Amino acid sequence: MEIQISNHQLQILFKAAAELGAITALVHAGKIKPYLKKAEAFRLYGRNQVEHWIAEGLITPRKDGDHSACWRIDRLEVEALAKAHLLLQML
């Protein structure tokens, strides 16, 4: 099976890969937090979209502690899903 891809589509893919690589490097260097608060993820990517990803099991929210602890979401997981979602819409 051969997949045809235009130069523009390839450019979009490379840009997304570079952005994810940069985020990964910043997380590993300690320049940005590896997790987002659930509310922050809602603000950045939309509440419906984040809740859909959670319901589908594509991202796993984690909770530190018991009753009043905040939910947090792995930044790399949500960034990768957001990029994939955007790429699927563009391609």
Q: Band of the pLDDT at 90, cuts 50, 70, 90?
A: confident
Q: Band of the pLDDT at 69, cuts 50, 70, 90?
A: confident
Question: In DSSP terms, which residues pair with 72 in a beta bridge?
Answer: 37, 62
pLDDT in tens, 19-46: 999 999 999 999 999 999 989 999 999 9
pLDDT at 50: 94
Whether 71 has a pLDDT exceeding 90, the answer reads: no
- Torsion of Cα atoms, 50 then 52 then 58 then 59, to 10°: 30
pLDDT in tens, 51-63: 999 999 999 998 8
Contacts of 31 (CB under 8 A, 6+ apart): none
